[in-house]
Structures are given as C-alpha cells and as structure tokens.
Amino acid sequence: MREVLVVDDDFMVAEIHRRFVEQVDGFRAVGVARTGAEALTAARTLRPQLILLDVYLPDMTGLEVLQRLRSGGDGVGVIMITAARELDTVSGALDGGAADYLIKPFEFDQLKAKLEAFASRADALESAGGVDQSLIDSLFGGAGAPSPMLPKGLGVETGRLVLDAVNDAGEVSAAECAARVGISRVSARRYLEHYLSTGTLGVRLQYGVGRPERRYHAAK
C-alpha cells in the first residue's frame, strides 16, 4: 500500500483529492497539509511514498516545498496538482524532480492514471536486479529508438506539455492548447503541426461560421 500526503490550502479541494486517492487500489491518504510548513513537517513525520502538491500555498509555493524536500535529501515522489498553467511553473516542477504534473480541475480517471503510472515505475525499479536500457526506456516512455529531433525553435519540454494538453483534453484547437500550456497561439500551432506531420497527432476540421477550425487529437 502506497501512502499519499495531500497538500492543498483549499479544504474542500483537499478533501476531494483525498477521497480520489482512497478510491485507487494500492493507495491510501495518510494526511492532509494546507501550508508549505505543514507539508514539510508531515513529509518528515509520516514518510509518505507520494505527495500531491499544490503550487499556490499561503506561506510558500509548492515549488519551494519541492526544492526544500530535495535539498534535504528527501526523494519522495511528488505530483504537482494545481491550476497553474504557466510554462515556467510547469518547467520548474519537472526540473525540480516532480514525477508528474496535473492541472486542476480534473476528473478522477485522470488522477487514477497518474497514480497507476507512478506505481508502475516504482514497481519496475523495486523488482529490477539491475538497470539496462530497456528498463530505462520503459520508465521514461522511450521505445528503444532515439527520439526524433524537433525543428529549430521547438523545445522538448514544451513539446511534452503540448502533448499532455492534447491527451488531457482529448481534442484541442491551437488557441485552447496555448491557453492550457501558457504559450502563444502561434507557438502552439507550430508544435501541433509538427506532431501532426510525424503522425503523433491527427486533425479534424470543424466547420462553422468563417474558416474551418483545426482541432488536434492523439493519432489512433
């Protein structure tokens, strides 16, 4: 059973997230913290395997909490759960060692998928007698072949966020993707069109007044 600490300053939101965790097999919520200081204390005393960490807290940001955990040698798994869509915030979380990032509001199935992915990675590491390339590829989503180079001006991290936005929404326009990721509509379209050209995404034309809208979705 993996123990989870929920960190959110909104009482009702924290309770919803706690209940979500309790509904996922193999996970249980061991505590709720509503400030950064409470989160750090609870991490030391409860020793959870995973923290669901909001970015906006009353006394410090979730990114600061993450940095203090890592500087103190705590390698606890962290999934950032927040309404923050700014690219700098998302990049900071991933650079700081967060295992994943989920934008709220979200559905139970979205959190369930994140928790199950976390459990799968942890199980793979715990059962491995040693590390080889196939294990690394499975943990980091590789297929054993090098990732295709992105065109000049496109970044790997932002590309990942764009694909996450498409997968989370099911289907997006360039404007909707831009709003989710925190980049310009022009930049979002460049990423979307690139992944369309590689076969990663598909597109559907939605007709209405004026020009048809291009709506992107994961390729089937």
For 169-174, what is the mean pLDDT?
94
Q: In this structure, how many other beta carbons lie within 10 angstroms of the beta carbon of residue 27?
A: 22
pLDDT in tens, 115-130: 988 888 777 766 655 5
Distance CA 181, CA 184 (A): 9
Q: Is the pLDDT of residue 90 over 80?
A: no
What pLDDT is stored for residue 18 in this prediction? 96
How many Cα atoms occupy the beta-carbon half-sphere of 204 within 13 Å?
A: 10
Where are the domains positioned within the chain?
A: 2-127, 156-218
Q: Is the pLDDT of residue 30 over 70?
A: yes
For 120-141, what is the mean pLDDT?
60
Q: Which CATH architecture has domain 2-127?
A: 3-Layer(aba) Sandwich (3.40)
Q: Which CATH class is domain 156-218?
A: mainly alpha
Prediction pTM value:
0.61
Residues in contact with 202: Cβ distance below 8 Å, sequence separation at least 6, in sequence order: 196, 216, 217, 218, 219, 220
Distance CA 97, CA 114 (A): 15
Distance CA 113, CA 116 (A): 5
Q: DSSP assignment, residue 213?
A: E
pLDDT in tens, 183-203: 999 999 999 998 888 888 999
Q: Give the angle 107-160-65 at the CA atoms, nearest 5°.
A: 70
What pLDDT is stored for residue 143 in this prediction? 42
- Largest Cα–Cα distance in the chain? 60
Q: Is the pLDDT of residue 147 over 50?
A: no
* 17-31, 103-117, 152-166 — most confident range: 17-31
Q: Check: CB of residue 54 under 8 Å from CB of residue 8.
A: yes
Segment (H or E) for 28: strand 27-33
Q: Is the pLDDT of residue 219 over 90?
A: no
Q: Is the pLDDT of residue 51 over 50?
A: yes
